[in-house]
Structure 1
Amino acid sequence: MSQYDVLCIGNAIVDILAECDDAFLVEHGIIKGAMNLVDAERSALLYSHMGPAIEASGGCAGNTAAGVASFGGTAAFFGKVSNDKLGDIYRHDIRAQGVAFDTKPLAGNPPTATSMIFVTPDGERSMNTYLGACIELGPEDVEADKAAAAKVTYFEGYLWDPPRAKEAIRLTAQHAHAAGREVSMTLSDPFCVDRYRSEFLDLMRSKTVDIVFANESEVKSLYQTSSFETALDLIRKDCKLAAVTRSEKGSVVVSSSETAAVPAIEIERLVDTTGAGDLYAAGFLFGYTNGRSLTDCARLGSLAAGLCIQQIGPRPRQNLREEAQRAGLL
């Protein structure tokens, strides 16, 4: 028996979310729908112009870990916070959600990471992330016992931005594969793909990564094609398994021998897309590590993502296991 279903590795970020209109994004030079890396000064400036805001622990992989735990799975997390107030909040939140989080915090600067997230009326989120303590995540933070004990390790493509994090990822993958486990990643963002296309493809083709999560824009960016079908055919050849989300069109899961297309769930109102892909990955990986079919995995992912986008903030507010049981998926 594995101790963990999923080990997640990512940037430990406290999200600060506020609503705005499109004119605000233009006025402040914010790229809509993307994750924009900013420095401490830019982060403070944007915060000073924000309307009423909500603080919530976030970060892509942290959201996924919380989602796996909400489904009733066992999850662990590697991520770097500082020994400050926001770091205390982050540690409390993820542990309270049932995730094992034991990465040693920084003693001083830089501070815990923050992301200023602006949500427009169409539900789209535009993130402005100051990585702070995240840049200090390195190989010394890898817990070999957790890497070997998790059925699947999952990391975010955003980790290719902090310089030492990729060393930690490669070391974790070595421990995981040596123990017969699998490694997965999310492409995170089309702009992230543009920055690291060749490295991401190498991770897949070298079998460092077995499972890939992406949305339609990301997978088309990866292969520099405008054709979704072409991108699917190519990613099918490059990795063992890929799950690609398509917003209201649902998702498509492909392996060398199988294709599963699953619709999105019906929602009452789109509120905020922050964390939708993270929660899709949570549902999918919970199903996958518990032996469900690819179709069932995608349905669990669609359920979690659909619930997520009807609220402000990326972490599950409902008990996802109960919601899945109510929907007849468990």
Structure 2
Amino acid sequence: MTQNKTALICGSLAFDKIMQYHGRFGEALLADQLHKVNVSFLVPTLRTEYGGCSANVAYNLNMLGGDPLIMATIGQDGGEYMERFAQLGIETRAIRKIASAYTAQCFVTADLDGNQINAFHPGAMEHSQELYAGDVGQVAIAIIGPDGREGMVKHAADCAALGIPFMFDPGQQLPRFDGAELIRFIDQATYLAANDYEFELLMDRTGLTLPEIASRLEALIVTRGAQGSEIYAGGERHLIPAVTAEKVVDPTGCGDAYRAGLLYGITEGFDWPTTGRLASLMGALKIAHQGGQNHAFTRDEIATRFHAAFGYAF
């Protein structure tokens, strides 16, 4: 009997609209007039990127040869995204179209100094609580990433009730939850993944220490950028080295690529050092490319790079 290795990916689906302003915001904003701002920026360049945490994770897990199943909401304008999933061979049966809303979209305007002015429209993402993990069939693991607030709460409760082990990955949505809610997530989850800033905020909100949080989970994963990452599991602390990227182009989606490596390692039964190293490699491969889903590697190419970085095969 073939072992079920399907990973349920709960999180946002979004379009990212990236605009470049060829000046400096500071030159257009008057310090003594910020109470009545009325400015316009000419943006000669505009590109649209496929984004959203669930899609980014699924894209990378699919690249590894895993079996991602996205559970998310998409808007009336999501036809092109659905066609893309079909071309990639990513299962879409758990994606629901919300005809009355647009797909979540982030509008990013950057200036010559790298400063950004962002506007985020959640759109269909705010309907994610209408989805139910029990409707998707058998899965081996789930990840609950940034999504509509109520959807994240519901998916965690549903996975816990259904006995589905899941990774809690609050990301940029973490500030929307209070301490009691975050403790409930931790107690329901099997794994928790956060970057170092998010984890400091998590400890501050919950009043729990790192050892206290780790003791409630099978594994706690804290990423620290170029300093690598740490995995706390079974009373042990595994230091995971960062993989040197060929070049540093765009960090967008690097955390999602890392989490795809974690999910693959867990479903394949790898030990934590190997799982963490694969996750680290996936982040390094992504950062060398613009956008969250423009890097493309075969599983064999990833395996070759893993061997070159760590001296053994996964």
Give the structure-2-normalised TM-score. Answer: 0.83
Distance 2:57 2:303 in 1: 19
C-alpha offsets along residues 196-236 of structure 1, whole Å, 9 cap, x if unaligned?
Answer: 1421222112xx211111000010111129xxxx9532331
Asked if 1 retains the 8 angstrom alpha-carbon contact of 2:9 and 2:144, the reply is yes
- Cα deviation for residue 241 of structure 1 reads 0.8
Q: Is the 8 A contact 1:8 1:154 kept in 2?
A: yes
1:11-50 pair list within 5 angstroms:
11-19=12-20, 23-24=24-25, 50=43
Letter of the structure 2 residue corresponding to residue 68 of structure 1 = L
* Higher deviation after alignment, 165-174 or 1-10: 165-174
Determine whether 1:203 maps to 2:195: no
Map Cα deviations across residues 11-53 of structure 1 (whole Å, 9 max, x no partner): 111122345689448968xxxxxxxxxxxxxxxx999754512
Q: Which residue of 2 aligns with 1:222?
A: 202
Q: Could you say if the C-alpha distance between residues 122 and 320 of structure 1 is closer, same or farther in structure 2, counting changes exceeding 3 Å?
A: farther
Deviation at 1:7, TM superposition (A): 0.7
Q: 1:304 to 1:216 in 2, by over 3 A?
A: same
Q: 1:325 to 1:81 in 2, by over 3 A?
A: same
> CA 1:219–1:322 in 2, change beyond 3 Å: closer, same or farther?
same
Q: Which runs of 5+ in 1 are unaligned?
A: 29-44
Equivalent in the alignment of 2:132: 142
1:145-193 CA-to-partner distances (Å, cap 9, x unmatched) read 53x5221100114432xx4553244224422x1xxx311121203xx32
Q: Deviations over 1:267-309 (max 9, x none)?
A: 2321111001000000111111101111111111111111111
Report the counterpart of residue 211 of structure 2 in structure 1.
Answer: 233
What residue identity is the alignment partner of 2:169? T
What is the alpha-carbon distance in structure 2 between the residues aligned to residue 245 and residue 90 of structure 1?
A: 29
Paired letter, 1:13: A
Equivalent residue number for residue 106 of structure 1: 98
Aligned residues, how many? 295
- Shift of residue 75, structure 1, vs aligned partner: 0.8
What is the TM-score when the length of structure 1 is the normalising length? 0.79
- Report the identity percentage: 21
Query: Hey, what's the Cα distance between the residues in 2 that align with 1:297 and 1:77?
Result: 21
Which of the residues 49, 61, 65 maps onto 1:56?
49
Structure 2 unaligned spans of 5+ = 30-37, 308-312
Distance 1:21 1:277 in 2: 29
> Do the aligned partners of 2:145 and 2:168 also contact (CA within 8 Å) in 1?
yes
Contact 1:119-1:272 within 8 A present in 2 as well:
no
Q: Which residue of 2 aligns with 1:276?
A: 254
Which whole-Å CA distance do the structure 2 matches of 1:149 and 1:26 have between them? 56
Residue 166 (str. 1) matches residue 153 (str. 2)? yes
8 Å CA contact 1:67–1:316 kept in 2: the answer is no
Worse-superposed segment, 313-322 or 14-23: 14-23
| Structure 2 residue 67 is matched with structure 1 residue 80 | no
Partner Cα separation in structure 2 for residue 306 and residue 98 of structure 1: 24
Q: Evaluate the alpha carbon distance shift between residue 317 and residue 233 of structure 1 in structure 2; reply closer, same or farther with a 3 A threshold.
A: same
| In 2: Cα distance, 1:278 partner to 1:123 partner | 22
Most deviating of 313-322 and 230-239: 230-239
